[in-house]
Amino acid sequence: MENESQREIVHNGVHDYSSPERYVAPTDPAVQANLKKFTGYKLGFMMHWAPGCQIASYESWPLCDGDAEWSQKDMTWADTATCQRQYREANKTFNPIKFNPAGWAKLAKDCGFRYLLFTTKHHDGFCMFDTKTTDYKITAPDCPFHTHPDADIVGALYREFKKQGLAISTYFSKPDWNSQYFWCDEFGKAPTRNVNYDIKEHPDLWEKYVQFVHAQIRELASNYGKIDVLWLDGGWVRPENQGQDIRLSEIVEELRNTTQPGLIVCERGRGGETENFITPEQTIPPMAIGVPWETCVTVGDCFSFHYNDCYKSGRKLTHLLLDVVSKGGNLALNIPAQPDGDLPAPAVKSIRELGAWLSIFGEGIYDTTLCAPYFTDKCYFTRKDNKIYCFYRYGRRAKLPAKLTLPLDVTVKEAYSMRTNDRLHARCEDGTVTLHLSDLPMGGAFFAEGFCLVLDDAQESAT
């Protein structure tokens, strides 16, 4: 029964995240070094963007009738077939003249993000980069934007984000619903998100799809300089599900030996050697995880642009980040661009508020590691070298207790407020550290307070 349930999950693409017990650490020293650096970045600027944003629907999913119940609910203006055709042809009217890659990169840098995670291609198959494999792309003559100096959107973003010192994580969809090698018209309408023919009966057709996927990945890894992560979505495309094997290990080995030494790869939901970190989606694990992981969470309610979306506040984003980092993960915050190429003002406001908080407390976020007990009801803990950082979460009003007792069995040499640099009295006894906070000035406090505990030399050596 358990195996049958697992097969159903894989077939339908129900996405949770790989069990940490299935994690296989990379053995390549260059990958290990890059992965350690990546897990220290903590905050990623994620973006779903494609021509379909013009109709403010879910990205790609309305094309899949197997997911009609939830994905086509926004298609209210015409029959399904008409809406799907209009979605597919949205590239013919896509002209985001306000696209400002330098501005986006500076915003991300100013707000404390350390890397970009951008959808080079989602499941609909539309390429936001200049590929030679298909005409369904941003630089094709039938797309009005193709005359823009930065028509190759992926190239423009990678260029500007690298200028700001940010790393690059390349989102790429394993399934491609525009490819005749995946959803082939010869076999009728595709009933599910999977390939619409029997691969065992048509191995030559599937081999063409594998080569098509490898060619696109090779372009992304060869035409835009260094990339740090190859982030592969579409977890239902896997050998154990209808034989959908894209032979990822082959192309990854090729890239690591040529254009991208030390490349981190994340084949979501697979486990094993091609999933160098695991990826919860729109959720945060309930406990600390001792293997590399990253959760992708939307700033609004949706990954793709919706005109009536509701955006999380800066305070909520800050608390999300603290929850994630205290459990050892990275947070990729998704900000959808508008059809005109601008970013939604409420989303920008929220990430600027998060950035203001990080400008004060980032020392206790970036390049930190797990620190037991990880979190309590209102506190979050991280560690870096001989320093333990404790964050106290505020409600709507910034208010601290006169004394804050922390379940830390350590000896503290000194303690100070990260916001004011005021020294704090710390009493260590019975496996706890009590901070005396009644004299700490509260002017300028917001979202969460941060304290640094410097351990004495003996304690540092012992730990």
The predicted-structure confidence for 75-98, as pLDDT tens digits, reads as follows 999 999 999 999 999 999 999 999
Q: Please check whether residue 373 lies inside any domain of the structure.
A: no
What 3-state class would DSSP assign to 214? helix
The mean pLDDT of the chain is 94
Residues 55 and 185 in one domain: yes
Say how far apart CA 112 and CA 314 lie, in whole Å.
Answer: 13
Q: Is 2 helix (H, G, I), strand (E, B) or coil?
A: helix
| pLDDT score, position 8 | 39
8 Å CB contact between 62 and 87: yes
Residues 325 and 402 in one domain: no
With H, G, I as helix, E, B as strand and everything else as coil, classify residue 215.
helix
In this predicted structure, the answer to whether residue 9 has a pLDDT above a threshold of 90 is no
Q: How far apart are CA 216 and CA 131, in angstroms?
A: 7
Q: Are 332 and 295 in contact (CB under 8 A)?
A: yes
Which residues, 6+ apart, have CB-to-CB distance to 198 below 8 Å?
242
Any domain includes 350: yes
pLDDT of 3 over the 90 cut: no
Q: Are 82 and 9 found together in one domain?
A: yes
Q: Give per-residue pLDDT as tens, 341-379.
A: 999 999 999 999 999 999 999 999 999 999 999 999 999
Last residue of a domain, one of 322, 341, 364: 364
Residue 329 lies in a domain: yes
Q: What is the CATH number of the domain that holds 183?
A: 3.20.20.80
> How much is the pTM?
0.94
Residue 374, in any domain of the structure: no
Does pLDDT of 2 surpass 80?
no
CATH code for the domain of 400: 2.60.40.1180
Domain shared by 360 and 385, yes or no: no
Do 342 and 356 touch, CB atoms closer than 8 A? no
Residue (of 389, 387, 363) closest to 374 by Cα position: 389
411 and 357: one domain? Answer: no
Q: Same structural domain for residues 349 and 430?
A: no
Based on the fold, state whether residues 295 and 189 are members of the same structural domain: yes
Is the pLDDT confidence value at 11 over 70? no
Going by pLDDT thresholds of 50, 70 and 90, the confidence category of residue 4 is: very low
> Which residues form the domain of 304?
2-364
Q: What share of the chain is helix, strand, coil (3-state, %, to 5)?
A: 30, 20, 50
Q: Which of 260, 274, 262 is nearest to 33 (CA)?
A: 262
Do 275 and 319 sit in the same domain of this protein?
Answer: yes
Question: Residue 408 falls within a domain, yes or no?
Answer: yes
Average pLDDT over residues 141-146: 98
Judge whether residue 7 has pLDDT over 90. no
DSSP 278: B
Q: Report H helices in 47-189.
A: 68-71, 80-88, 101-110, 153-163
Query: 206 with 95, same domain?
Result: yes
Q: Of 330, 364, 398, which marks where a domain is finished?
A: 364
Residue 370, in any domain of the structure: no
Q: Residue 145 domain-assigned?
A: yes
For residue 13, pLDDT beyond 50: no
Are 108 and 246 in a shared domain?
A: yes
Q: CA–CA separation, 242 vs 40, rounded Å?
A: 37
Strands 412-417 and 115-121: unpaired
Would you say residue 372 lies in a domain?
no
Instruction: Name the domain boundary from 310, 337, 364.
Output: 364
Do 415 and 345 lie in one domain? The reply is no
* pLDDT per position as a tens digit, 31-79: 999 999 999 999 999 999 999 999 999 999 999 999 999 999 989 999 9
Strands (E), 268-386: 294-298, 330-334, 379-384
Strands 448-455 and 412-417, by their bridges, are: antiparallel
Q: In b/e form, how buried is each residue of 178-215, taking b as 16+ CB within 10 angstroms?
A: bbebbbbeeeeebeebbbbbebeebeebbeebbebbbe
Q: What is the pLDDT of residues 412-458, one digit of tens each?
A: 999 999 999 999 999 999 999 999 999 999 999 999 999 999 998 75
What is the number of structural domains in the chain?
A: 2
**Is the domain of 96 the same as that of 208?**
yes
